Amino acid sequence: MTTLNKKSIADIIAEKHDLTKKEASEIVDLVFDTIADTLKDGGKAEITGFGKFEVKTRASRIGINPQTKESIEIPSSKLPGFKASKGLKDLVK
């Protein structure tokens, strides 16, 4: 099993498209930064055939402090979410 990271993606792009590793790295950074900025602004990033990135809101809830056993309110929060496309799900099966 291999692990894919930003550097290895940039290396693959550089090799397949006759780019320097620096140029390919800048392209990969631009893609990820654009997705992150879109999510930060409340938008969605949908990549056809791969999946959809979107911001999900976790509702506020009651939790328990494990040290004092007191109930505490945990405020609502936003977090990034990813939903794989049907094509990606079928490919992984």
* Residue 63 structure tokens: 């939790």
The CA distance from 35 to 50, in Å, is 14
pLDDT score, position 1? 72
The CA distance from 59 to 43, in Å, is 19
**Helix (H) or strand (E) segment spanning residue 54:** strand 51-58
Q: Encode pLDDT of 5-55 as tens digits.
A: 999 999 999 999 999 999 999 999 999 999 999 999 999 999 999 999 999
The CA distance from 27 to 8, in Å, is 13
* Residue 72 structure tokens: 């505490």
- Are 70 and 92 contacting, i.e. CB atoms less than 8 angstroms apart? no
User: For tokens 């654009």, what's the residue?
Assistant: 34
